[in-house]
Amino acid sequence: MQTRRSILSGLGGLVVTGATGGFAGLRAPDAAAQSLSQIELRGGFDAAEAGVMPGADDDQSRKLQALINAAAKVGQPVFLPAGTYEVSNLDLPEGTRLSGVAGATRLAYRGDGHLIAARDVRQISLSGITFDGANRWLADYTEGLLAFRSVEDVVIDNCEITGSRKYGVQMERCGGRISASRITGAAKAAIWSVEGRAMSIRDNEISDCGNGGILVHRWTKGADNTMITGNRISRIAATDGGTGQHGNGINLFRTDGVMIEGNHVSDCAFSAIRANSASNVIISGNQALRSGETAIYAEFDFEGALIDGNLVDGAANGISVVNFDQGGRLSSVSGNIVRNITAEGPYVHDGAGFGYGIAVEAETTVTGNVIEQAAKAGLMLGWGPYLRNVIVSDNIIRKAPVGVMISVVEGTGSVVVSHNLFSETLTGAVLGYRWAEKVTQDLVDGAHDTETLTVEGNRRG
């Protein structure tokens, strides 16, 4: 029967298969190995007692890999004392539990392929460790400094991940959680989860990434059920350009059933929160500050978006729930504060342009929002014929040239605009448009109701 003592003693003369397939002797049996066999570790294996030493000039990869393998085999954790360990190509077996001293234990990537990887296992746990990619080359076979594939339960807690040439953490077909960690300086995005299995991404600090903060994507549209809560995300660039596929603090693509709540997202090149073809999404209680394009976006092929109680301050558009032409419909936009919306975006827009507080199109209620200081309009309802079954009520719109812009192109559906309060809307409180052209006088008094448009009970402040 194997014990911690026998395994640690055996590591003194063990020859193991290296991460690249070769063999390397760890060290010959000596007095240190003999003393090692006398040590009883409480609660797991201590790397220092197995000859894995921080600050060593030589590559610690094979020694640490052997220790991780041995500990996982008998269901024990590995503890890394404070210090820097130069390693590469660590492949984590089933049951790996690797921990360190938060802020003081550092795994420094040597640049030989990948730093951490695991696949086709049930459980992996990492806590209290700094993973430093040092902006070094990553092999073509890996997409992240930490890369996981088909791991049922990945736990990354109280770690720091910095300096990845690709993604900070890349996960495919994984469940688990990333919590209370700091991820900075990833050339692509901090976290990329593909085909996730009810991941939890919470209470992390993410900043200074090249193309995105938290990406939750699927190859095919379906239930993902990830929860993204309590994260602080800032300074997200769009180094690969485009018109919104990059540069977002939180980005969903084809993922249904995702909840995005209580995040603080600032200074993103495009959107603070962008949900593309993501049905049954909840976006609630978030702060979106200084977004370069649309602050909160639900777009393209989705059904079901609840956007409630968010604060948007500074963006080229505030909240957009659009693309009815692509199947985007069924939403509630309520209780949000949207302010300081400019008409300047990061590219030349070929459609409605920028400068709108809230824009919606189909099967949507817009209630109880406060919109102040929008460059073009507080609310934009529809674009061309893409408008159907919208209710706008009990909103306050202040300091916008137009309070509500309504598409009156032939083929639009029913719209009700009622009991809203308008202040300092100098061009008009409620106006009808054909695409970008104003074609009606102010409709705020309800004198021009049609079969599809009802305007009643509104007031100017």
- Does a structural domain hold residue 141? yes
| Residues sharing a CB contact under 8 Å with residue 57, sequence separation 6 or more, in sequence order | none
- Give the other-Cβ count within 10 Å of 403's Cβ: 32
Contact 430, 403 (CB under 8 A): yes
Interatomic CA distance for residues 372 and 423, integer angstroms: 9
Interatomic CA distance for residues 362 and 412, integer angstroms: 10
3-state secondary structure 143-165: CEEEEEEEEEEEEEECCEEECCC
Interatomic CA distance for residues 100 and 104, integer angstroms: 8
Q: What range defines the domain where residue 104 resides?
A: 88-460
Rg of the chain over CA atoms, in angstroms? 27
Which residue in this structure is represented by tokens 């890394």?
80
Walk along the chain (461 residues) and give the pLDDT tens digit of each residue.
455 555 555 554 443 333 333 323 333 333 333 333 333 334 589 998 888 989 887 889 999 999 999 999 999 999 999 999 999 999 999 999 999 999 999 999 999 999 999 999 999 999 999 999 999 999 999 999 999 999 999 999 999 999 999 999 999 999 999 999 999 999 999 999 999 999 999 999 999 999 999 999 999 999 999 999 999 999 999 999 999 999 999 999 999 999 999 999 999 999 999 999 999 999 999 999 999 999 999 999 999 999 999 999 999 999 999 999 999 999 999 999 999 999 999 999 888 999 999 999 999 999 999 999 999 999 999 999 999 999 999 999 999 999 999 999 999 999 999 999 999 999 999 999 999 999 999 999 887 768 899 999 999 98
Which ranges of 327-423 does DSSP label H, i.e. alpha helix?
Answer: none
Interatomic CA distance for residues 285 and 191, integer angstroms: 22
- Does a structural domain hold residue 17? no
Name the percent of the chain lying above pLDDT 70: 90
Q: Read off the tokens for 310.
A: 């968010």
- Does a structural domain hold residue 364? yes
pLDDT given for residue 20 in this prediction: 37
- Does a structural domain hold residue 126? yes
Q: Read off the tokens for 437.
A: 């052209």
Interatomic CA distance for residues 233 and 246, integer angstroms: 15
- Does a structural domain hold residue 404? yes
| Residue 245, domain CATH | 2.160.20
| Residues sharing a CB contact under 8 Å with residue 260, sequence separation 6 or more, in sequence order | 228, 229, 250, 252, 273, 275, 281, 282, 283, 284, 286
Contact 117, 172 (CB under 8 A): no
- Does a structural domain hold residue 27? no
pTM: 0.91
Specify the length of the chain in residues. Answer: 461
Domain count, the chain: 1
pLDDT digits (tens, 9 = 90+) for 188-244: 999 999 999 999 999 999 999 999 999 999 999 999 999 999 999 999 999 999 999
Position 143: which residue type? Answer: E
- Does a structural domain hold residue 318? yes
| Residues sharing a CB contact under 8 Å with residue 283, sequence separation 6 or more, in sequence order | 260, 261, 273, 275, 296, 298, 305, 306, 307, 308, 310
pLDDT given for residue 24 in this prediction: 33
Q: Read off the tokens for 138.
A: 């990553």
- Does a structural domain hold residue 352? yes
